[in-house]
Amino acid sequence: MLSQKWPRLDVLFANAGDVTHRSLENWDEETWDCLMATNLKEPFFLIQAVLPLLRNPASIILYGSTSAHIGLPQNSAYAASKDRLLSLARTLSAELATRGTRVNGLAKSWVD
């Protein structure tokens, strides 16, 4: 049980990611479901599982990607999953504010 090892959490940083890239015609439902489970479903249910352990105040950081904002070939499913994750950060930010929990979505970028 989580609460035996960590009775209270100050910060949750969710950084798991499936970065599978394929052209549209090469996607199958099983691979799509696996990517969405890793990039969206698992962070959602991780937050739900640790919610009772979060201090007031606490911080949740969901690691997205700039792929959610730009169009790259063979990146459609990955970009969609990261866009959904960043949307989750925005909505949970409003939902968890009364608990003293701040939620942010982080989207990395490239530097030349």
Domain residue extents for the chain: 2-51+58-106
Residue 108: pLDDT band with limits 50, 70, 90 = confident
Residue 7: pLDDT band with limits 50, 70, 90 = confident
Q: Answer whether residue 64 shows pLDDT above 80.
A: yes
Number of helices (H) and strands (E) in the chain: give both, helices first.
4, 3
CA angle 72, 75, 81 (to 5 degrees): 125
Distance between CA atoms of residues 56 and 103, nearest Å: 13
Rg (CA), the chain: 15
Residue with tokens 């991780």: 46
- The residues annotated as belonging to the active site are 78
CATH of domain 2-51+58-106: 3.40.50.720
**What is this structure's pTM?**
0.88
> What is the residue-averaged pLDDT of the chain?
92
Burial of 35 (0-12, 13-18, 19+ CB in 10 A): buried
pLDDT of residue 56: 95
Residue 67: pLDDT band with limits 50, 70, 90 = confident
